[in-house]
Amino acid sequence: MRLADFILRDMGRILTEWESFAATLMPAARHMDAPALRDHAQQILQAVARDLSTPQTRHAQREKSQGRAPRLSDAPETAAQTHALLRARHGFSINQMVSEYRALRASVLCLWLDACHPAPPELDDMMRFNEAIDQAVAESVAFFDAQAEQARNLLLGMLGHDMRSPLQTIQTTAQFLAALNAGEKVSEAAARLIRSGARMNSLLDDLCDFNRTKLGLGINIAPAGIDLAQVFGDAVDQLRAAHPRHRIEFAVHGNVQGTWDGLRLQQLLSNLVTNAVTYGTADAPVRVVVTGQDAQVLVAVWNSGPPIDPQTLGQIFNPLRRGEDRHDRNAPGLGLGLYIAKEIATAHHGAIDARSDPGGTVFEVQLPRRP
């Protein structure tokens, strides 16, 4: 018996085995009824049967094996893609969803071989069936991953937004305590709260910016005519207050006026200096040098310390990463500071680069005067 005919003839028995296996995938399946457990399984099997009954060239076979099977023009999603979306929304893991296809493959082939006995099975049908299941798995995994990524980005966005209000309350209360002049201990505690609140606010900024870039929105900027000597001077003053035990030197050379988003560039500088303070030698200064050139301004942030190995240096602007050889692996932060700095530079049509040798590490930003 040909496999396509068997699938259509014994659809009910195959679906029963699919449902029985899906019911074991806990905890997602605990409260799902039979139609939900069988979700789109019949349409997937019908698509497989149609595929088995369709002549196939070697080129088409190769394309399918690489996940590039042709799509129907009037079908916005395949059954496997819709199945993946619904499984993701019901709380299945990607491994659980893939295990459904493994179980389906084994179930169909075992039932078919029994139905064929004593006649030998068509080996070509078996190969085509495995190709069709692999194609369905590829479609499901891609859509499941996209759905999970979207849900994660929405969660990050809501988290960053909803934490603003309680953080603002903490900062306002700390400022009130600092203004009371209620003694040295109270003032010190209030100052710690203010510094911690500012740090948390910076982390939320990085989290929200990272979320925007993952959603494809990029870093939002509002360019205006500014003087980087003043903008960066204010940022350095704030950084010195936030890191009183570290020496931060600041120098400006030449004309550093242009059209940029001042607040965003303060954020960029803050991320670079915080990184330098965190990973540089504690008793050596962090140097910030701003140099005006004809068409652009260069911003360099230098710190001493052990050199960064080339492999780590090549990945240093990737999000959620820290160099494994850096001396403070428990440094506070999300591993987003350098990534956000790069995105801010890119939003200004600029560039950022990093160099490291035994003499220290330097991050250099190139900012066109008029993006």
Tens digit of each residue's pLDDT (9 = 90 or more) over 155-202:
766 666 677 778 778 888 888 888 887 888 888 888 888 877 777 777
CA–CA gap between residue 163 and residue 169 (Å, rounded): 10
Helices 184-214, 262-279: axis angle to 10 degrees equals: 110
Q: What is the DSSP letter of 246?
A: S
- Confidence grade of residue 52 (pLDDT, cut at 50, 70, 90): confident
The gap between the terminal CA atoms of the chain, to the nearest Å, is: 68
Q: What is residue 353's predicted lDDT score, i.e. its pLDDT?
A: 95
- Confidence grade of residue 350 (pLDDT, cut at 50, 70, 90): very high
In this predicted structure, the answer to whether residue 10 has a pLDDT above a threshold of 80 is: yes
CA–CA gap between residue 60 and residue 79 (Å, rounded): 20
Q: What is residue 326's predicted lDDT score, i.e. its pLDDT?
A: 45
Q: What is residue 290's predicted lDDT score, i.e. its pLDDT?
A: 96
Q: How confident is the prediction for the chain on average, in pLDDT? A: 84
Question: Which CATH architecture group holds 224-368?
Answer: 2-Layer Sandwich (3.30)
Q: What integer is the mean pLDDT of 211-218?
A: 67
| Cα dihedral 6→8→11→12 (10° resolution) | -110
Q: What is residue 314's predicted lDDT score, i.e. its pLDDT?
A: 87
Q: What is residue 21's predicted lDDT score, i.e. its pLDDT?
A: 92
CA–CA gap between residue 263 and residue 224 (Å, rounded): 11
Closest CA to 369 of 276, 258, 266: 258
In this predicted structure, the answer to whether residue 90 has a pLDDT above a threshold of 90 is: no
Q: What is residue 327's predicted lDDT score, i.e. its pLDDT?
A: 44
Q: What is residue 258's predicted lDDT score, i.e. its pLDDT?
A: 94
Q: What is residue 72's predicted lDDT score, i.e. its pLDDT?
A: 53
CA–CA gap between residue 213 and residue 317 (Å, rounded): 14
AA letter at 42: Q
Q: What integer is the mean pLDDT of 99-107?
A: 92
- Confidence grade of residue 24 (pLDDT, cut at 50, 70, 90): very high
Q: In angstroms, what CA-CA distances link 52 with 101, 106, 180, 189, 277?
A: 17, 17, 80, 72, 63
* Beta strands at 257-260 and 296-303: parallel, antiparallel or unpaired: unpaired
Name residue 227's beta-bridge partners.
257
CA–CA gap between residue 354 and residue 272 (Å, rounded): 11
Q: Which is higher by pLDDT, 159 or 39? A: 39
Q: What is residue 39's predicted lDDT score, i.e. its pLDDT?
A: 86
Tens digit of each residue's pLDDT (9 = 90 or more) over 222-243:
899 999 999 999 999 989 988 8
Taking a C-beta distance cutoff of 8 angstroms, is the pair 271, 206 a contact?
yes
Q: What is residue 361's predicted lDDT score, i.e. its pLDDT?
A: 94
Q: What is residue 88's predicted lDDT score, i.e. its pLDDT?
A: 84
Structural domain spans, the chain: 3-155, 163-214, 224-368
Q: What is residue 132's predicted lDDT score, i.e. its pLDDT?
A: 86
CA–CA gap between residue 248 and residue 252 (Å, rounded): 14
* H or E element in which residue 235 lies: helix 228-242
Q: What is residue 370's predicted lDDT score, i.e. its pLDDT?
A: 76
Tens digit of each residue's pLDDT (9 = 90 or more) over 301-339:
999 988 998 888 888 998 766 544 444 444 555 578 898
> Which of the listed CATH numbers 1.10.490.70, 1.20.140.10, 3.40.309.10, 3.30.9.10 matches domain 3-155?
1.10.490.70
- Confidence grade of residue 214 (pLDDT, cut at 50, 70, 90): low
- Confidence grade of residue 65 (pLDDT, cut at 50, 70, 90): low
CA–CA gap between residue 1 and residue 126 (Å, rounded): 12
- Confidence grade of residue 68 (pLDDT, cut at 50, 70, 90): low
